[in-house]
Structure 1
Amino acid sequence: MMKSFAGRLLALFSLLTLEVALVGGVFLLSALLFFYLTRVVFVQRSAGFDEWAFGQMDVLRATWPSLTTLVYGLTFFASLPFLVGAGVGIPVVLRILGHKREGLEIFLAVAGAALLNQILKTHFQRVRPSSALIFQQGLSFPSGHAMIGLALYGCLAWLLWRHRRHPLWAFLLLLFALLIGLTRVYLHVHYATDVLAGFAAGLFWLILLRTALRLWWRESSEIVEGKA
């Protein structure tokens, strides 16, 4: 019996170690990608990738003109009105259903990503593309749709995956966030490097937030247990 217990404990430890290693690796890669993109855009001032991406989207739009209507609809799901509604509404609903921590996690994911996005935009001061198909206020780097959208849908995907419910939906949520980012390039309201930087920063924030909350909730539980 002791051997069986020790084997299960070792297997659990190995799984946790692998999870920590994977999450840590993704965290580091997202930070490195963001740093690399800042070098490409603001130090090397290379526009080759952005021009190539615009060219590909222009070909796609010329080939399927009707796709533009779908893109307009899709990009709405990471717009400011939608994100405000989702960032407040989903946590309220989850709290009512008894999922207080999950609701707080989603609220902080969206609110924190929005705040960090504005700080980064103010710091880098990149002007939006002049070829935009629609008027869009604000600065360009990193893309708010990509960054905050990934924070929202990535957090929802993580919660679904963590509770082992509907892993397919978790994958579709991540795919949805990626497609929203592509709509920004399609509409020329962001450069492709803006979108990639938004994804990297959003992923960085999600992992940082999740790690901080885990440590905080564990510490809080230990304090409560100690008092008891």
Structure 2
Amino acid sequence: MDELRAAEPSLTAWVRRITFFASAPFLTGAGIVLPSLLAWLKRRREALELFLAVLGSTLLNQFLKSHFHRSRPETALFPQPGLSFPSGHAMIGVALYGCAAWLLWRHGRHPFWSALLLGWALVVGLSRIYLHVHYATDVLAGFAAGIVWLVLLRTALRLWWREQQQVTIPEEL
């Protein structure tokens, strides 16, 4: 990455723009606006799933950061507050973009956009390594934790919705 930065110094400005798309302000807005839009479109389950993906991954990320308490690299290209492990940009980005990709894929719409969203989550995570605000292990752990959270959330919601469906169906005598 050092060679890339040296060869293309203007790339850093672009990478800083990319990393914004998993920053706290962006994720907060997206975590509220996108579920609201889905709810307005009468996609309440999808709205709940996307909201919980972002909220849950945010809470889990803060718990993991406080547990591991790893400092950021001293070579960061710009100062970043907070702890390093796992990368919140990678973890919450995977949760948001991964959940959106899953929802698009599940409804059989736009598999290209699903793949693009997953690729974008990967690029955002890699931007954190490029900017030296995270170690590669922070980003990998963020990706892994975000995926684990999505799998757990999806499983829990499926079970809950199945249980709700069974409760509403009256038993025959």
TM-score (norm 2): 0.97
Distance 2:112 2:7 in 1: 31
Q: How does 1:189-200 map to 2 (within 5 A)?
A: 189-200=133-144
The aligned length equals: 172
Given the alignment of the two structures, is residue 161 of structure 1 paired with residue 102 of structure 2, yes or no? no
Q: How far off its partner does 1:227 sit?
A: 6.7
1:102 to 26, 41, 46: 46
Instruction: Give the counterpart letter for 2:79 in structure 1.
Output: F
1:84 paired residue number: 28
TM-score (norm 1): 0.74
Which moved further from structure 2: 88-97 or 58-67?
58-67
Distance 1:72 1:128 in 2: 17
Q: How does 1:6-21 map to 2 (within 5 A)?
A: none
Instruction: Give the counterpart letter for 2:9 in structure 1.
Output: P
**SS across alignment from 1:78:** coil
Distance 2:171 2:84 in 1: 50
**SS across alignment from 1:226:** coil
Instruction: Give the counterpart letter for 1:174 in structure 2.
Output: L
**SS across alignment from 1:129:** coil
**SS across alignment from 2:170:** helix
Distance 2:4 2:53 in 1: 33
1:75 paired residue number: 19
Distance 2:10 2:20 in 1: 17
Unaligned residue ranges in structure 1 (runs of 5+): 1-56
More helix, by proportion: 1
Distance 1:226 1:106 in 2: 30
Instruction: Report sequence identity in percent.
Output: 66
4+ residue runs of structure 1 moved beyond 6 angstroms? none
2:114 paired residue number: 170
2:147 to 203, 213, 217: 203
